[in-house]
Structure 1
Amino acid sequence: MTPHSTHTADRILGGWLGRIAGNMLGKPVERGDYWTRARIDRYLRLTGALPLTDYLPEPPAATDGFELRPEWRHCVRGRISGSCRDDDVDYAILGLHLLETHGFAFTTEEVGELWLLRLPYLQTFTAERAAYRNLANGLRPPLTATFENPYQEWIGALIRADIFGWTNPGDPHRAAALARRDAVLSHTGNGVYGAMWAAALIAAAFTASGPRAALEAALERVPASSRLARTVRHTLALHAAGAAWEDTLTAMDEETGRLGWIHAVPNAAVITAGLLYGDGDFTRTITLTVRGGLDTDSNGATAGSVAGVLCGAGGIGRQWTEPLEDTVRSAVFGFDGVRITELAHRTARLVVG
C-alpha cells in the first residue's frame, strides 16, 4: 500500500471500530422515552461513572428506577466479549456486501433483494420492517417506502449510511448520492436526508480539519430548507455562540422533541452536538453523544464512526477496542463472527479497487 492508502485504511478501520464501540456504549440505555438525559446522568452518578470514559458500568444490586435493556449483560464494562448483535452494525455489513456484490452502480431494487436474501425479517424494525413486508408482498420502490409505513422519517436509513461514506473518502457528494439510492427503499423526506447527511459527514471527515468542517460540508449535500438541515444549522450556531452542551441540547429538544425519540431530526441534533463538543476526541465524542439520550445506540454508532474516521484507529482508546476482541456478531447471513479488521480491509479494497 502507498502511504496515502495506508492512512485511509487506518481511518476506515477507525470508522468501523468507532461505530461498533459507540453502538455498544449506547445499547444498554436505548429507549429515549425512558432513558432521558437526566436519567442517564443519574445512573452514571449512582455508579460513580461521571465523567464517563469507558463502557457503561453494570447496575448495582436492587437498584430501582434504572431498567437497562435486556442485552446489558453483554454490553457493560467487564462483561463484553466481542460485539453484541445489533441492526446498527448489521446494516453496515449488509451495505458492504451490497457494494461487493453489485458495485457502486447498485439499484434500489438490488438493495431490497439483498435484504430478502441475507437479513431475517424479525431483525428489522420500524421503516425497515414495513419496507421488507412490502418487498415480500411484491411491491417495488418507491412504493415500498410509502405503503402502510408511518416511520418514513425515522432514523433507520441514517444508520445504514456509513458504508457510503467510508468508501468515498473526501467525496461527500458521491457518498450522499449513494446513500439516497439506498434510503428510498424505506424512507422519504427527512428520513432520506438523514442518510444523505450521515454519509456525506463521514466522507467529509476523511479530509476535514475537524468536526465542524465535516458537519458544514455535509450540510451542503441536503436541501437547505429541510427540517434536518435547519436543525443541524441551529445546533452549529448554538455551539459557535458559546452555549454549554447541556443548554444546546435543551434548546434543540424544545425545538424538535415533539417528533419523537426515533425520528431522524432530533437525533441529528444529538449527533451534531456530540461531535462539536467532543471536539475530535473519540472518548468525549461518543460519551457526550450517548449521554444526550434519544436513540442512544444509533447515535453513539454514527458519532463513533465520524470520530473514528477523524482520529483513525490509532486514536481510539484501548478500553473501547480490546473488549470487542476484533469480532462482530451479526444477523446478516454468512457474516456472524466476522473479524472487524476483515470488514475494514474489504471496505478499503473497494476504495482502491
Structure 2
Amino acid sequence: MIKHILSAACICFAMFGQAQSKNNTGSLRMSKETLQDKIRGGWAGQTIGVTFGGPYEFKYNGTFIQANQPLTWYDGYLKKTMTDIPGLYDDIYMDLTFVDILERVGFDAPVDSFANSFARAGYDLWFANQAARYNILQGIKAPASGEPKNNLQADAIDYQIEADYSGLMHPGMPNAASVLNDKIGHIMNYGDGWYGGVFVGAMYSIAFTSSDVSYVVKEALKTIPVKSEFYQCIADVIKWHKQYPDWHSTWFELQKKWANDMVCPQGVFVPFNIDAKINAAYVVLGLLYGNGDYAKTLDISTRAGQDADCNPSTAGGVLG
C-alpha cells in the first residue's frame, strides 16, 4: 500500500509541475528520493504518534497529564499495540481506504467510491465516521451522509484525523489538497469537522516546503475562513504561544474559551470533547511549543488530553 502512496504522490508532483513555496518566490525542486523520504516520514510519524498517545485517549478530559507522570514507550511497543489493539489505528486505516480508491480508480473517482468503500469495510468506526457509515448503508448518499441534519457528529474530529493522506499526496500544493478534501471530507463532516481536515491536509502539504513549524501552521491556517470558529481558535493558539513561554498557560486559555463541546451528544454535560477545533488546538500546541522536536511535540500534544492519541498522531505526521 505504501508503494502505491509513494507512486501517487510522485505522479501528482509531476502533474502539477514545480510546487510553489510561500516563503520562496522561486520553485520548489525536490529529488524523487527526498520526496519519498518525506512521505515515508509522514506515515511513520503519525503511526508512532497514535501509538504513543493510545493509552491516554479520552482518559484526561478537561485536564492535562502532569509532568511527573511518565508516558509509556519501549522497544517493540508499536508492533505489540498494532497487533493487540488494531482499532486504535482508525487514523491510519481510514486514510488507506481513500488512498486505495485513488490508486485503483484515480483522482477523478466519484465520491460514492470512497463512501461505499469505508461504509462496507470490516473495521471499527466511531462518531462522525460511524454516523456516516450508518447513513450510507441506509441509503443516504454522500455528501448528505455528513450533513448536520443527518449527522449529529458533523463537527467532530473524524476527518481531521484521516486527512493526512491528502497533504502527503499533494506536496507543496495545499489548495490542490483542499480540492480533494472537499470531495471526501464531506462524506462524514461539515463545519469545524471539515475545516479540521482541510487544515491538517494543508499542514502536511506545506511541510514539504519548510521545516519551520510556525510557518507551516500559519500558512495552513490561510486555507480556513477567517470568520469561522476553527480559524479563531487556532489563531488564538498562535497568539498565546507568543505571549506565554509555557504551554500550560496556553492550555488554560484554551480551556476557558474553547473547551465547551455542544456538537457531540456524549460531550454536552461532561468534560469529554471530540470537537475538531479544540483537538486541532492541541495539535498546534504541540507543534509550536515543540518547535520541531519530535519527542517534545508528541509529549505536549498527548499531555494536553482529550483525543490524546489522534492529536500526537497528526502532529507527529506533520513533523515526519
Give the TM-score category using the shorter length: 0.7 to 0.9
Q: Distance in 2 between matches of 1:244 and 1:277?
A: 8
1:31 aligns with 2:58: yes
Aligned-pair CA distance for 1:177: 1.8
1:283 and 2:306 aligned: no
Q: Which has the higher contact order (CA 8 A, sep 6+)?
A: 1
| Residue 116, structure 1, aligned to residue 119, structure 2 | yes
Q: Percent identity?
A: 27
Q: Distance in 1 between matches of 2:189 and 2:78?
A: 34
After TM superposition, the score normalised by the length of structure 1 is 0.74
Q: Which residue of 2 aligns with 1:213?
A: 215
Work out the CA distance in 1 between the residues paired with 2:204 and 2:93: 18
Instruction: Find the aligned partners of 2:171 and 2:61 in 1 and give their Cα distance.
Output: 35
Matched, 1:77 2:100: no
How far 1:78 sits from its partner (Å)?
A: 4.9
Query: What is the alpha-carbon distance in structure 1 between the residues aligned to residue 62 and residue 281 of structure 2?
Result: 15
Work out whether residues 177 and 196 of structure 1, in 8 Å CA contact, stay in contact via their aligned partners in 2: no
Question: 1:237 is matched by which residue type in structure 2?
Answer: K
In structure 1, C-alpha distance between the alignment counterparts of 2:286 and 2:95, rounded to whole Å: 21
Q: 2:207 and 2:63 mapped to 1: Cα distance?
A: 27
Within 2, Cα distance between the matches of 1:225 and 1:194?
A: 15
Equivalent residue letter for 2:46: R
Structural mapping, 1:1-353, within 5 Å: 4-32=31-59, 34=60, 37-38=63-64, 40-41=65-66, 45-46=68-69, 49=70, 56-57=71-72, 76-78=73-75, 80=77, 82=79, 84=82, 85=86, 86-117=89-120, 119-120=121-122, 123-146=124-147, 147-259=149-261, 260-308=272-320
Structure 2, unpaired ranges of 5+: 1-9, 11-28, 262-271
SS of residue in 1 equivalent to 2:187:
coil
**1:45 Cα shift?**
2.1
Opposite residue 104 of structure 2, the aligned amino acid is T
Q: Is the 8 A contact 2:119 2:134 kept in 1?
A: no
Aligned length: 276
Q: Is the 8 A contact 2:48 2:78 kept in 1?
A: no
* RMSD across aligned positions (CA): 1.9
Conservation of the 8 A alpha-carbon contact between 2:298 and 2:315: yes
Give the alignment's TM-score, normalised by structure 2: 0.81
Structure 1 counterpart SS, 2:46: helix
How far apart are the structure 2 equivalents of 1:149 and 1:203? 29
Partner amino acid for 1:77? Y
Instruction: Summarize deviations over 1:149-193 as a string: whole Å, max 9, x none.
Output: 211000001111010100111111111221221110111111111
Query: How far apart in 2 are the matches of 1:298 and 1:269?
Result: 12
| Gaps in structure 1 of 5+ consecutive residues | 50-55, 58-75, 309-353
Match of 1:72 in 2: none
Q: Is the 8 A contact 1:95 1:160 kept in 2?
A: no
Give, as a single letter, the amino acid of the residue that structure 2 aligns with 1:140: K
The separation in 1 between residues aligned to 2:61 and 2:301, in whole angstroms, is: 13
* Rounded Cα–Cα distance in structure 1 between residues aligned with 2:234 and 2:227: 11
Contact 2:230 2:277 in 1 (8 A): yes
